Amino acid sequence: MVKTSIKPADIQRVKGMGFLLNRGTDLFSGRVVPVGGIFTAEQLDLIAKCAQKYGNGKVAFTSRLAAEIVGIPYENIDDACAFMAQSGLAFGGTGAKIRPVTACKGTTCVYGNCDTQAIAKEIHNRYYLGWSNVKLPHKFKIAVGGCPNSCMKPSLNDFGIEAHRVLRLDNSKCRSCKICNVEKNCPMKAAVLDENRKIVIDPKICNTCGVCNGKCPFGAVEKHNDEEYQIFVGGTWGKHTRMGTPLSHRVTYKELFPLLEKTMLWFKKYAYEKERLGAAIDRIGADEMEKELFSDILLTQKEEILAAEIQKRP
């Protein structure tokens, strides 16, 4: 195999900018990071032009929805960065920091219980950009899912958000229809007609996916509050698979961002260098973590935590 002529220090430097060495070459793949998991048509056009002008004309999309321009010569990297800046986009998405925020299509999907892309955009602006200079013990992945179908796999991210819709059942409005639309459409089979042909929903089976919302023409099942969010922490895939730990209770939209910030502060405070969040949770305990996440102690220590050096493994 042909070895690269690029110096290791230069390879490491541009890796921090979002450029990964193509094996056995002097070429790199550069990751263009989307905002909220979305590129506009104008941005895609610029990505294509950048690939033609500075790369080998090929673009691949990553699992975190970034556009990876392939085959960029080392000497073209700075020009490629300047070119993409025209669209307000930048290369990045690597290193021991917050990775590009992913979101499913819950914004437009018929099953979506929230505007997933708007939440991802807010997280991108507040934390992917706002904490861009914060070095963490390891990578930190965030995903926003609009329903329990889990297309974006929030439970396999360091911080996964999954929107749920809690509905109100008003049996007085149930007309005992021959074919119940709520029963027919419930994917979990939690909604059934009882012996009196009245709809009942088993809370032990219902996963609050929200599919039954509006299915009853007489309003027996309708939403009665804003969406709630199930949070998963410490999920990973790959060589060391770990399903994310579901926090003990769901949170509101207003609680999402402080909870995310506290999770990252907890990670920075307790995890060892090169230790993923899930491993730190397993070492210290999920219950101990929750005590701090559902209090304000981490926020009061924020400046101290961010200024501290990352712990070395003993």
Q: What is the pLDDT of residue 303?
A: 97
Statement: residue 87 has pLDDT above 70 = yes
Q: What is the pLDDT of residue 104?
A: 98
Checking phi first, is residue 197 left (phi over 0); if not, alpha (psi -120 to 50) or beta?
A: left
Q: What is the pLDDT of residue 186?
A: 97
> What's the average model confidence in pLDDT over 156-184?
95
Rounded to an integer, what distance in angstroms lies between the CA atom of residue 162 and that of residue 36?
15
Q: What digits encode the pLDDT tens for the residues 97-119?
A: 999 999 999 999 999 999 999 99
pTM of this structure: 0.94
End-to-end CA distance of the chain: 38
Statement: residue 3 has pLDDT above 90 = no
If you classify domain 8-87 with CATH, what class do you get? Answer: alpha beta
Q: What is the pLDDT of residue 1?
A: 52
Q: How confident is the model at residue 58 (pLDDT cuts 50, 70, 90)?
A: very high
Q: What is the pLDDT of residue 224?
A: 76
For 77, list phi and psi in degrees, rounded to 5. -60, -50
> What's the average model confidence in pLDDT over 182-195?
96
Q: Are 308 and 272 in contact (CB under 8 A)?
A: no
In this structure, whether the domain defined by 167-223 belongs to CATH 3.40.50.150 is answered with: no
Statement: residue 2 has pLDDT above 70 = no
Fold of 102-163+227-307: Sulfite Reductase Hemoprotein; domain 1 (3.30.413)
Statement: residue 75 has pLDDT above 60 = yes
Q: What is the pLDDT of residue 163?
A: 98
Q: How confident is the model at residue 67 (pLDDT cuts 50, 70, 90)?
A: very high
Q: Are 79 and 72 in contact (CB under 8 A)?
A: no
Domain limits of the chain?
8-87, 102-163+227-307, 167-223
Secondary structure element (H or E) that encloses residue 48, with its range: helix 41-54
Given the DSSP bridges, would you call strands 159-164 and 142-145 parallel, antiparallel or unpaired?
Answer: parallel
Check if 8-87 and 167-223 are the same fold. Answer: yes
DSSP string, 207-271: ----TTTTTSTT-SEEE-S--EEEEEES-B-TTS-BPPEEPSS-B-HHHHHHHHHHHHHHHHHHP
Q: What is the pLDDT of residue 162?
A: 99
Q: What digits encode the pLDDT tens for the residues 195-249?
A: 999 999 999 999 999 999 999 999 999 987 789 999 999 999 999 999 999 999 9
Summary mean pLDDT of the chain? 96
Residue 89 tokens read as: 């986009």
